[in-house]
Amino acid sequence: MTETSPAISTHHRICPLCEACCGLEIQVSEGRVTRVRGHDEDVLSRGYICPKGAALKDLHEDPDRLRQPLIKRNGQFEPATWEEAYAEIELRLQAVQARHGRTSVAAVAGNPSAHKIGLMLYYPRLLKALGTRNIFSAATLDQMPRHVVSGLLYGHWMSVPVPDIAHTDWLLVLGANPVASNGSMWTVPDFRGKAKALQARGGRLIVIDPRRSETAALADEHHFIRPGADTFLLLGMLHTVFEQGLVRPGAAADWIDGLDSVRKAVQPFPPHAVAARCGIPAETIVRLATELATTPRAVLYGRIGTCTQDFGSLSTWLIDLLNLLTGHLDQIGGALFPKAAAFAANTVGAGGRGRGVALGRYASRVSAAPEVMGELPIACLAEEIDTPGEQAVRALITIATNPVLSAPNGERLSKALGQLDFMVSLDIYLNETTRHADVILPAPSPLEDLHYDVPFPQLSWRNHARYSAPVFSRPAGQPAEWESLLRLAAIAQGAQGPQDSAVLDEQLFADELKRLPPDLADAARTASGHLKGPDRLLDLALRLGPYQLDLAQVQAAPGGLDLGELQPRLPELLRTADGRIPLAPAVLLQDLQRAHAALAEAPPDFMLIGRRDVRSNNSWMHNLPILAKGPQRCTLLVHPEDARRLGLSEGGQARLSRSGQPDTALQVPVQLSAAMMPGVVSLPHGWGHDHAGTRLSLASERPGVNLNALLDEQRRDPLSGNSVLSGVAVTLTPAESMIRRSS
């Protein structure tokens, strides 16, 4: 913190609202935020900020943000003290455990938990204490295919290659819109600025998307693709690479196995055979493959559009194979693996080999969906609750998640939550999901919390280590989230009565040290022992990390420590058991049969895709005045030709349902957009704030509709368990017909 004048202080805070992780400069006067702007000295983001960053002030001040625990009594939430709340949880959670066993309790964690160090570091403690297999998270609505492929190919879920945007001359983006989303599984603040720099040095940006997105508008080249068909495009490209003798694995050549299997596997997919399926001409497919292979610094990047589809794991695998086989993996200007200063499993130990990963060690009870990364698909949560049986889920803990809006078929989940014996939520709002809880524990405002990003330095465009101290102190009595998690963990383990979170934290630290060799543990106890909470675990992780830093060093650099440009990391990065990269894992080859069977599928009349808006964030930032103002954002984008054919007009209402499921119908305002691929319509997710019993006064004024109410929770990428959220067949009619039919 710096004192600018006696009344004004300036603080530096990493923005916790999206994966760009911008460094912000927050000015405070008389206990209030008076200005938020980008921090010019931040080593990662260099002054960049988006409208959401500025909304941290509104979030901090939002009168609807919960500041006291709530306990539901006779169907009504009543304010309670923290000890009353914990006592209620103890009574009721332990009763469920005693009666129905440990599996009867489920836990779900959501997106914001990735942005809270307290949640990242202490949630595993809670899961261990719960001892349940019913663990779910938003990862299966998002990036699970990415983890599967990283695990299988490189031996760790979090070994994710990211485009070296600082040096590449050719960047192909599939299914991502970083100009609006600010990047994902790739921490890249100011993507627009970096893309413009790429173009200024003569490079090219190419976008593949069923909508001419904000990123496509910036690109040198954009191609529409039939939603869900990336796998076919990528297979056609890979076929070309083999066919034209362009296979040159470069840096990775010494470590790969299974090249012939890949060659054989792509044979049925020449460009002319996949062109109609993906909607991209064969010549274009061949040209893109050739450009990728012959441009010395080139890279493919795929994200949510390539993950949340029927072939999510296949698409992600093919993206990596294309980068690798054209010599761009682990190469400057290609796709590089970041080297994080702390918490990265792929920096631990000697490197070069490791334990690898296992998939499907167990399966979900009802659908037999395989476990991945210790989780089950979140789309299975509702059925695990509402399908009777000895092993049914009867109690639930939610941490920073709103699956009633964020997951497919939230209606079913909402009903299922109503059937639970007990539910507790650690959250900041009384919203569509937490309204079902029996106890809500409020998290502090992000400005009252210290921060260090745990996952994102493992995904960043440049290596760095940055720390934020709290801007404000927590209100009296308000625990940090990690303290709440320690209390919940103690309860889950059967503790009775009030517990001291400081004592619980000592136990946790002692357990952490037990995992180290005795000499290292002694050194760590001496070095980090004076700290507590996440600071202590962070100090330990920095010391054990590849740069051998410590917390004090990172804290002393207000803009963070710049740890340099990304560098090649093979073979040290590998953690597969044999130290090799298996190009053709059996499970992926097998999954390819599914794509083969779907090659001839004709497109339905209309397909639905999602979209993100700069002023929105999944389901939970619609209550902040600075973001909520302006035009309605929950609109259905329809191509003007499609609209004319259907009798829809700008500003009119459309009736939208999943094809064959008229009861899923939503009524939505139409917005004409020539940026849509004909036959594809787009609706953003995270809306539908019209449930009774929430406390979201501003959001409920313009609730929008819930896209996920249309989606089928049973439709998943089988290997990763990731939900299919894009490319769903829909039926579209003017809303008048809805009125006529019902009258």
142 vs 310 by CB, closer to Mo ion: 142
Helices within 347-408 (DSSP H only): 381-386, 403-406
CA distance 94 to 91: 6
189 binds, among Mo ion, ligand SF4, ligand MGD, none (CB under 5 to 8 A by kind): ligand SF4
Task: Answer whether 62's CB lies under 8 Å from 624's CB.
Answer: yes
Listed ranges 10-18, 161-169, 560-568, 659-667: which one lies at the site for ligand SF4 (CB under 6 A): 10-18
C-alpha dihedral sign at 502, 508, 510, 516 = negative
Owner of token pair 């997106």: 111
Residue 223 interacts with ligand SF4 (CB under 6 A)?
no
Question: Which positions ≥6 away from 445 have C-beta within 8 Å?
Answer: 59, 60, 65, 428, 472
Collapsing DSSP states into helix, strand and coil, what is residue 277? helix
Query: Can you say how many angstroms the Cα of residue 270 is from the centroid of all Cα atoms in its chain?
Result: 33
Least distance CB 371 / Mo ion (angstroms): 20
37 vs 128 by CB, closer to ligand SF4: 37
406 binds, among ligand MGD, ligand SF4, Mo ion, none (CB under 5 to 8 A by kind): ligand MGD
Question: Which residue has the CB atom at the shortest distance from ligand SF4?
Answer: 53
Residue 142 interacts with Mo ion (CB under 5 A)?
yes
**Nearest-10 crossing angle of helices 230-243, 586-597:** 110
20 vs 335 by CB, closer to ligand SF4: 20
Least distance CB 655 / ligand SF4 (angstroms): 34
Listed ranges 139-147, 499-507, 540-548, 600-608: which one lies at the site for Mo ion (CB under 5 A): 139-147
Task: Answer whether 323's CB lies under 8 Å from 293's CB.
Answer: no
Residue 182 interacts with ligand SF4 (CB under 6 A)?
yes
Tokens of residue 277, six digits: 């399926």
Least distance CB 182 / ligand SF4 (angstroms): 4
Rg (CA), the chain: 25
- Using CB under 6 A as the binding rule, the residues of this chain from 425 to 444 that contact ligand SF4 are none
Tokens of residue 257, six digits: 């196995």
Residue 185 interacts with ligand SF4 (CB under 6 A)?
no
Task: Answer whether 383's CB lies under 8 Å from 372's CB.
Answer: no
104 vs 213 by CB, closer to ligand MGD: 213
The size of the interface with ligand SF4 (CB under 6 A), counted in residues, is 12
Residue 713 interacts with Mo ion (CB under 5 A)?
no
383 binds, among ligand MGD, ligand SF4, Mo ion, none (CB under 5 to 8 A by kind): none
Residue 18 interacts with ligand SF4 (CB under 6 A)?
yes
49 vs 574 by CB, closer to ligand MGD: 49
Least distance CB 77 / ligand MGD (angstroms): 15
Residue 535 interacts with Mo ion (CB under 5 A)?
no
Strands 439-442 and 422-427: parallel
- Residues of this chain that interact with ligand MGD (CB under 6 A) are 18, 110-112, 116, 138, 141-142, 174-178, 180-182, 184, 208-211, 213, 225, 227-228, 230, 303-306, 308-309, 399-403, 406, 426-429, 431, 443, 446, 481, 609-614, 616-620, 685-686, 707-708, 725-727
Q: Which of 159, 165, 43, 171 is nearest to 463 (CA)?
A: 43
15 vs 340 by CB, closer to ligand SF4: 15
Strands 170-174 and 298-302: parallel
149 vs 643 by CB, closer to Mo ion: 149
CA distance 72 to 75: 6
Residue 20 interacts with ligand SF4 (CB under 6 A)?
yes
Q: Which of 53, 271, 370, 455 binds ligand SF4 (CB under 6 A)?
A: 53
CA distance 116 to 111: 10
CA distance 381 to 394: 11
Q: How far is CA 267 from CA 300, 328, 675, in A?
A: 21, 22, 34
Question: Which positions ≥6 away from 624 have C-beta within 8 Å?
Answer: 55, 58, 59, 62, 698
44 vs 80 by CB, closer to ligand SF4: 44
112 vs 327 by CB, closer to ligand SF4: 112
53 vs 145 by CB, closer to ligand SF4: 53
Task: Answer whether 267's CB lies under 8 Å from 152's CB.
Answer: no
**Residues at the site binding Mo ion, with contacts judged by CB under 5 A:** 142
Binding residues vs ligand SF4 (CB under 6 A): 15, 17-18, 20-22, 49-50, 52-53, 182, 189
